[in-house]
Amino acid sequence: MEIHYPNGKKFNQNELPKNRITHTGKNESYGNRGMTLEEDLNETNKYYRDRKIAVVHKKPTPIQIVQVDYPKRSAAVIKEAYFKLASTTDYNGVYKGKYIDFEAKETRNFTSFPLKNFHQHQISHMQAVIEQGGICFVILMFTKLKEVYFLEAKHLLGFWDRMKNGGRKSITKGEIEQNGYFIPLGFQPRIDYIKILDALNLC
Amino acid sequence: MEIHYPNGKKFNQNELPKNRITHTGKNESYGNRGMTLEEDLNETNKYYRDRKIAVVHKKPTPIQIVQVDYPKRSAAVIKEAYFKLASTTDYNGVYKGKYIDFEAKETRNFTSFPLKNFHQHQISHMQAVIEQGGICFVILMFTKLKEVYFLEAKHLLGFWDRMKNGGRKSITKGEIEQNGYFIPLGFQPRIDYIKILDALNLC
């Protein structure tokens, strides 16, 4: 829980609008659309909420606060804090009474999705959600190809186990195509993952 | 979303261990148990998770990050950030496949629970969760009496509407007793709200 990001990666504050600062490396815009995967999913979730289709939110980035100043007549200012590794996935909510839970990740690769995008806490959380009867999946984006896939967490867990048993450290794109579902990028909603849940009769 | 806490309230960093710093005023220990409601619920949720009874987490406190430093060979440091008002409730998760969602609040009052403990975003979120078929409730603690109650969100929404229509700005303790359920404080788990869900056949 106390492992800190980033691993020596440089970050230029001026390159990004302030509201795009996160610790999960999702900030790189993909293609020339000028949008991040996170922004697309936030818009998608807002679309679902506004139309009462589903209630899904991104969880706030977990922060360890160390020092807070309370200036007179103005807002409290956090003066020292650190990013914490999330113990769960980033997104969860309710669709037709059922619990849904997912993580969204990007890669700039063309032919495979590195498993280092996930960490053990998230994998354990997905396993626990599945055991409790929740709907759990990942949204995987190949940013250079502008392709987004829906993959049920049970498949991700299988690939994770393969890695733990000495197998490859990524999922091939072919495996994702075979086990997952292509989500066409749309306008409204942008990443219509609920349509996949409906098609799979998961809810 | 940009309203900032606190409203002139003084906060002494040295009075509390660092991991108790939150923005929701839940830090005051109740009675002489030396535990906060938040800590009790975190322990309760850990108990449920460890025994695979339910998967429920508290959401991280939402923060607006303004400035981050990246010192060489050490963790990124957030140098300027502000507390944001939560747009949802603090706790959610899955129990028997169903979505559960709740907020927990304390009062030092003896005879009523002030509705100012909630804000409109949270009330709207509760309404949306109910409409989507999720299980939504609040856990209300009278800290001086060491009494904890479970109240379904539909009742809270009713009292909120009464206030909006010019009625009283709090729920009387009698109303909570009549519409809610007393949760005895235990050792393991400390605040066994799942037992209430079972008793009410909500999941």
Residue B98 lies in a domain: yes
pLDDT recorded at residue A34: 61
Contacts of B55 (CB under 8 A, 6+ apart): A125, A128, A129, A132, A134, B48, B49, B93, B94, B95
**Min Cα separation A159/chain B (Å):** 23
Query: A85 touching B, CB under 8 A?
Result: no
Could you list the residues of A known to form a binding site for Mg(2+), using ranges. Answer: 88, 90, 103, 122
Identify the burial level of B2 via C-beta atoms within 10 angstroms of its C-beta, where 0-12 means exposed, 13-18 middle and 19 or more buried: exposed
HEC sequence for A93-157: EEECCEEEEEEEEEECCCCEEEHHHCCHHHHHHHHHHHHCCCEEEEEEEECCCCEEEEEEHHHHH
Cβ–Cβ below 8 Å for A131 and B11: no
**How many helical (H) and strand (E) elements, i.e. helices and strands, does chain A have?**
5, 10
pLDDT recorded at residue A67: 96
Query: A133 touching B, CB under 8 A?
Result: yes
Name residue B22's amino acid: T
Residue B69 lies in a domain: no
Q: Name which residue leads in pLDDT, A32 or A82.
A: A82
Query: B132 touching A, CB under 8 A?
Result: yes
Strands annotated E in A2-117: 55-58, 63-69, 77-83, 91-95, 98-107, 112-114
Residue A162 lies in a domain: yes
Sheet with A77-83: strands ordered across: A63-69, A77-83, B77-83, B63-69
In chain B, which residue's Cα lies nearest the Cα of A77? B82
pLDDT recorded at residue B124: 97
pLDDT recorded at residue B8: 41
Which residues of chain B make contact with A203, given a CB cutoff of 8 A?
none
From B84, B103, B81, select the one nearest B92 (Cα to Cα): B103
Q: Which residues of chain B have pLDDT under 50?
A: 1-32
Residue A12 lies in a domain: no
Which residues of chain B make contact with A87, given a CB cutoff of 8 A?
57
pLDDT at A121 over 50: yes
What are the residues facing A98 on neighbouring strands? A95, B98
Cβ–Cβ below 8 Å for A132 and B66: no
Long-range contacts of A44-50 (CB under 8 A, 24+ apart): A44/A189, A44/A190, A44/A191, A44/A192, A44/A193, A45/A91, A45/A93, A47/A188, A47/A189, A47/A190, A48/A189, A48/A194, A49/B128
pLDDT recorded at residue B203: 76
Cβ–Cβ below 8 Å for A76 and B11: yes
Cβ–Cβ below 8 Å for A60 and B63: yes
Domain count, chain A: 1
* Angle, helices B120-131/B153-164, rounded to nearest 10 degrees: 130
Q: What mean pLDDT is predicted for residues A35-41?
A: 93
pLDDT recorded at residue A203: 76
B94 closest CB neighbour out of A6, A60, A134? A134
Question: Is 0.85 exceeded by the ipTM?
Answer: no
Indicate the pairing of strand A135-142 with strand A98-107: parallel
Q: Which of A28-42, A91-105, A128-142, B153-167 has the lowest mean pLDDT?
A: A28-42
Query: A88 touching B, CB under 8 A?
Result: yes
pLDDT at A13 over 60: no
pLDDT recorded at residue B34: 61
Which residues of chain B make contact with A15, given a CB cutoff of 8 A?
none
Tens of pLDDT along A150-201?
999 999 999 999 999 999 999 999 999 999 999 999 999 999 999 999 999 8
Does residue B2 have a known ligand-binding role? no
Residue A7 lies in a domain: no
Residue A176 lies in a domain: yes
pLDDT recorded at residue A35: 79
And the tokens for A151?
């993959």
Residue A156 lies in a domain: yes
Q: What mean pLDDT is predicted for residues A68-79?
A: 92
Query: B70 touching A, CB under 8 A?
Result: yes
From B172, B157, B166, B46, select the one nearest B111 (Cα to Cα): B172
What's the domain range around A98? 32-60+86-199
Query: B17 touching A, CB under 8 A?
Result: no
pLDDT at A30 over 90: no
**At residue A29, what are phi and psi to the nearest 5 degrees?**
-70, 145
Residue A69 lies in a domain: no
Average pLDDT, chain A: 87
- The CATH number of residue A195's host domain is 3.40.1350.10
